[in-house]
Amino acid sequence: MGRHAKRGVIIESTFNRVQNPRFAIRQCFCPYPQGSFRGDTDMPGRSVTLKLGHDSYFLGPRHAVCRELHASLPRQSASLLDAGLSDPGAMRTLLDFVAANDPARDFDEAPEDREVLRRAKRLLNGGVHVLVRLDGPASHACAGPAVQVDAASGTLRPDLAITAEEESLVERGDIRAFWLSRLHKLDPVARIGFGLWSRSAEEYRAAIERGNPEYWDHKGFAYWEGITRTTIVNLSVGLNKAGFRGNMRQEREKIRNVGKAVARMHIDYVKADYRYSYGKIRGLLSKQQVADYHHEAFAEFHIQPDNYGGTWLRAVPDEMEFRIYGFLYCHDCDSDEGYPGPAR
């Protein structure tokens, strides 16, 4: 197989004394402890492939994947491993993986690539508790959103980090494309964000019907369209109370400006969530964070906080409202752990 630089690593779980898990990319292959993944009894022994980014992907057991991503797993092909045959660096990584985990350890000094591949598949399908990261062209064939390792649960989750392209979309005023990108990442706020700015009801319906049922909370188009319509009404009423007067075209343009401000705030808050690791999952906002940045964006247009649908009961504390009906629009938001409130 020759001597080649490695083009892959595994992700190894490490813990400090206060039980705070962290994950590091290391040039070694160490198995995860049994039970370190949430739901590790779910279909054990089946390996899956998920893209890590533009040019890398993860291989590992199905139970290492958060349930929000399970709907995309049947579309993943185990044959993606075969792409490693065209990449000497990836094959070197797989050889190291097999050498560290195969109890037989009866390799020739220079095993054939297909033999390495066969043993790697056997180990992964046998439930070895390892996440293998490989760099190579197979990632282009991976369906579903890019993923990250969640330190709290030890699972693979959608990568919610804000990209330069997403920032550029908002600056160019393409709010629809921004929320579509966030929708692909299973960002909870995108369910309504994309509904507000999709090209048509048919496009929104298609996104819901083709999407992950768990992400959409097993609720259909009529439910989410109803929430979207309520959001538009709330914005219109809020602008009217703030003194805005204009025709229908002018109101649509004003609502678009509010939408841009909300998208910019979403970007800021997700970045801060990554920087300070609020809650349990980096990049996943809590209902309080979402409410706070809506309030900030609305304030730019003199819209009152109670025109945001998540805090429309003015006399009731926000946290109580979240408990009463927050699950109706964000069943999968993060916790408030460590979040000190808005910085501005």
Give the model's pLDDT for residue 271: 96
Q: What are the CA-CA distances from residue 192 to residues 156, 187, 203, 309 (Å)?
A: 24, 10, 13, 11
Give the model's pLDDT for residue 196: 96
- How far is it, in rounded angstroms, from Cα 90 to Cα 4? 9
Give the model's pLDDT for residue 91: 76
Q: Which two tokens stand for residue 37?
A: 């993944």
Q: Which two tokens stand for residue 40?
A: 């590790």
Q: Mind spelling out the 3-state secondary structure of 40-77?
A: CCCCCCCEEEEECCCCEEEEEEHHHECHHHHHHHHHCC
DSSP labels, 246-271: --HHHHHHHHHHHHHHHHHHHHHHHH
Give the model's pLDDT for residue 55: 54
Q: Provide φ and ψ at 48, rounded to 5°.
A: -135, 165
Helices vs strands, H then E, count in the chain? 10, 7
- How far is it, in rounded angstroms, from Cα 110 to Cα 260? 58
Give the model's pLDDT for residue 135: 57
> Among residues 180, 213, 210, which one has the least CA distance to residue 197?
180
Q: What is the mean pLDDT of each run of 10 residues along the chain (344 residues)?
A: 36 28 26 30 41 56 65 51 67 78 70 81 67 53 59 68 95 96 93 96 95 91 95 93 93 95 97 93 93 95 90 75 84 93 74
List, edge to edge, every strand of the sheet that includes 21-26: 21-26, 8-15, 132-135, 56-61, 47-51
Query: Could you give the angle at the alpha carbon of 31 between the alpha carbons of 30 and 33, nearest 5°?
Result: 130
Give the model's pLDDT for residue 95: 80
Give the model's pLDDT for residue 290: 96
Q: Provide φ and ψ at 25, rounded to 5°.
A: -85, 125
Cβ(311)–Cβ(291) under 8 Å? yes
Give the model's pLDDT for residue 267: 98
